[in-house]
Amino acid sequence: MTNDLIKLIKEKTTLSSKSIENIITLLDEGCTIPFIARYRKDSTGNATDEDLRAFEEVFTYSQKLLKRKEEIINLLDEKNFLNDKVKNSINEAKTLQALEDIYAPFKDKKSSRTSSAIENGLEPLANIIQCLKYTNQEVEQKAKQFVNKNIKSNEEAITGAKDIIAQRYADDFKSKEILRSMISNWGEIQIKEGKEFHKSGVYSSFANQTEKIKYIKSHRTLAILRAVNEKQLSIKVDIDEKHILENIKKYKIPSWASSSKDIVFDAYKDGLKRLLLPSLKREAINTLKEKASSEAIELFGKNLKELLQTAPLVNQVILGMDPGFVSGCKLAVIDENGIYLDSDVIYPTKPKQNTEASNKTVLALIKKYGVTSIAIGNGTASRETAEFASNLIKDNNLDINYAIVSEIGASVYSASKIAAHEYPNLDVTIRGAISIAGRLRDPMATLVKIDPKSLGIGQYQHDVNQKELGLKLENTTVDLVNKVGVDLNSASYKLLSFISGISEKLAKNIIEHRDGIKKFNSKNELLKVKGLGAKAYEQAVGFLRIKDGKSILDNTAIHPEDYTVTKNLQKKYNIEDIRDNQIEQIANELNTTPLKLSDIIQELKKPGYDVRSEFNQVKFAQDVTKIEDLKEGFILSGIVRNITDFGAFVDIGLKNDALLHISQISQKRINHPSEVLSINQNLEKIKVVSVDLEKQRVGLSLK
């Protein structure tokens, strides 16, 4: 571990040098981010999992930067280009981009006007011209010395020398940085109609517009770039070149220069227009794309986190209903632990409507299994199925609640290898109903089985960096699953595979072992699982829970390495009586740390505590069954299903979610919908402000 690496990371994080050193050591030892965040707080300065994920990015980038610095220094040293000035510039570079700018002048120029001029021996002439001490006539005289079989005249010699000077200007890393900043702050994107442009198409509003690079919103960038890929739009970067040329005259050419300054200026102008600006304009578009991609990925991660931390509905037997018209409504019952009990199909809606038989079937399932809640998918026939369920409950005076849940991704799960592994003998349609029921019982446990890209959250997911998106979604899921904890006796192998230290293969081994012993009674029994060694046990065990085990501690996030301290604490003190000002003294007495002791006390006060908030049930307006029933001014309620940069999509009980535009979310100005809204948030008193029957779109307002 080098001091340079620690120094680089320290500049880009708020962590101390000691914490940085400790985190790197822990990672090298095979510790995971969730484990370090929860059980090594004293080593990290109490860094959160979010802090550690940010550290991870900086750490990886800093390693790449240092490695590339070393490579460039070695390359330049081999070519005898390395001097103290260049070496200092390389060592001071803070980014990979700055590093490549410094290295650019030393790269071989192949098949270019510059390389041709260099091969023809014109570098000395370029030096003569660029020193700005000679008149044009004197330059003409000196150019005669460079006429040869390839260079036929003075003019050719001077033109070749100007090509070299143009390249030098284009390669100057300080000039690059200045221009890059100018494009970023003052540049514009000009958007024109493309070859495949449709005047009534989705991108028609973008055509013939100009956007300031500095202020363009991420979602607009991604939409424009998608349209460019589809050849519906074309774009180019525009910058005030006249202003740049005036700056070159003012700052790059000294006032004392001789008349040869005109030749140098022409060369700089050529370097600017032919070499530097085109590459920086391409780079500006790439930078915009990367920034938009990064922001979209962040939003995707935030939405996924909110979706997964939706509160569970505990101790309930749930009937899942997957609505449908022609194919009927698929039913599936799961128990308190999410175990599948039974299934059926009913036809409560047209065209095969048989309300009486449907009532009998549902009532029989409710009675047989003691169903206490109903989950209804929000897709096709959802509203009609909800009405059927509502009438059934009222007519039979049942003490049962029903809720509409998002069914997006349920069909993806139904046909997946995970579903086939879990329910090999069930039809895919019944698996979908099980998934819908599971979303009400434990959204996190159910949704982790589905690729997050299939959950209908975020924006322009196919246009962003797929590798970065995958990593973000994986890390978001891992961090939340570990923060919440997992019931060892009811978790699926997929849910277990997100636990710190547990691979998918190891998770399957745990399930196989659990099936053999019926249930785990103690966390220590994990050590008997095939392939689960001491390191995996250390990393995983704190995030697992056993509800009715031999020890109450096994239903907490207290790590077994702290059980001795915990038992000594319980012997000497009444947990409820301990005050904050006693923590340090008790920690010293028990030979532990205040941070660790505080966590232990919190866990003992609430064994089995779930950090997810309480469940909310939405009440839909019962008189709205289709978009044709809506009129401007109607007041509805709904659930936020997705959040984007430009607004939120709200489930109001129709087939398509309605748009709540950012301008309609709050009376106060907000920069992003997520400042006010969150995924699965229940909204009351939403006003309908527009109804487009042709496009099947509804606009809403909270104002």
**Residue 621 pLDDT greater than 80, yes or no:** no
- In this prediction, residue 94 carries a pLDDT of 93
- In this prediction, residue 652 carries a pLDDT of 86
Tokens (6 digits) for 210:
């100009």
- In this prediction, residue 363 carries a pLDDT of 98
**Residue 289 pLDDT greater than 70, yes or no:** yes
- In this prediction, residue 327 carries a pLDDT of 94
Q: Cα-Cα-Cα-Cα dihedral of 68, 71, 75, 77, to 10°? A: 110
**Residue 84 pLDDT greater than 60, yes or no:** yes
Quick: pLDDT tens for 301-348. 999 999 999 889 889 999 999 999 999 999 999 999 999 999 999 999
- What strands, in cross-sheet order, belong to the sheet with 329-334? 340-346, 329-334, 318-322, 373-377, 401-405
- The mean predicted confidence, pLDDT, of the chain is 93
Cβ(439)–Cβ(404) under 8 Å?
no
- In this prediction, residue 397 carries a pLDDT of 96
HSE, CB side, 13 Å, CA atoms: give it for residue 495.
25
- In this prediction, residue 178 carries a pLDDT of 95
Query: Once rounded to an integer, what is the mean pLDDT over residues 115-121?
Result: 93
**Residue 1 pLDDT greater than 90, yes or no:** no
Those residues with Cβ within 8 angstroms of residue 545's Cβ, 6 or more apart along the chain or in another chain: 485, 486, 487, 488, 554, 555, 556, 608
Q: How far apart are CA 72 and CA 129, in angstroms?
A: 30
**Residue 110 pLDDT greater than 70, yes or no:** no
Quick: pLDDT tens for 361-393. 999 999 999 999 999 998 889 888 998 999 999
CA-wise closest residue to 325 among 277, 383, 368, 279: 383
Query: Once rounded to an integer, what is the mean pLDDT over residues 567-589?
Result: 95
Quick: pLDDT tens for 414-437. 999 999 999 999 999 999 999 999
Q: How far apart are CA 532 and CA 51, in angstroms?
A: 29
Query: Once rounded to an integer, what is the mean pLDDT over residues 450-471?
Result: 92
φ, ψ of residue 329 in degrees (nearest 5): -100, 120
Query: Once rounded to an integer, what is the mean pLDDT over residues 534-544?
Result: 98
Those residues with Cβ within 8 angstroms of residue 432's Cβ, 6 or more apart along the chain or in another chain: 322, 330, 377, 407, 410, 411, 413, 414
- In this prediction, residue 614 carries a pLDDT of 56
- State the DSSP code for 249: I
Those residues with Cβ within 8 angstroms of residue 352's Cβ, 6 or more apart along the chain or in another chain: 326, 328
**Residue 624 pLDDT greater than 70, yes or no:** no
Those residues with Cβ within 8 angstroms of residue 685's Cβ, 6 or more apart along the chain or in another chain: 635, 637, 702
- In this prediction, residue 143 carries a pLDDT of 94
Res. 111 pLDDT band, cuts 50 70 90: low
**Residue 130 pLDDT greater than 80, yes or no:** yes
- In this prediction, residue 3 carries a pLDDT of 87
Query: Once rounded to an integer, what is the mean pLDDT over residues 500-522?
Result: 97
Q: How far apart are CA 644 and CA 458, in angstroms?
A: 6
The shares of helix, strand and coil residues in the chain, as percent rounded to the nearest 5, are: 55, 10, 35
- In this prediction, residue 518 carries a pLDDT of 94
Read off the pTM. Answer: 0.90
CA-wise closest residue to 315 among 547, 480, 492: 547
Q: Which tops the pLDDT comparison, 629 or 124? A: 124
**Residue 663 pLDDT greater than 80, yes or no:** yes
Res. 108 pLDDT band, cuts 50 70 90: confident
Cβ(45)–Cβ(37) under 8 Å?
no
Q: How far apart are CA 188 and CA 183, in angstroms?
A: 8
- In this prediction, residue 109 carries a pLDDT of 66
* Percent residues over pLDDT 90 in the chain: 85
- In this prediction, residue 611 carries a pLDDT of 85
**Residue 572 pLDDT greater than 90, yes or no:** yes
Res. 123 pLDDT band, cuts 50 70 90: very high
Res. 613 pLDDT band, cuts 50 70 90: low
Tokens (6 digits) for 40:
């090594």
In the block, residue with structure tokens 């947990």: 575
Q: Are strands 373-377 and 318-322 parallel, antiparallel or unpaired?
A: parallel
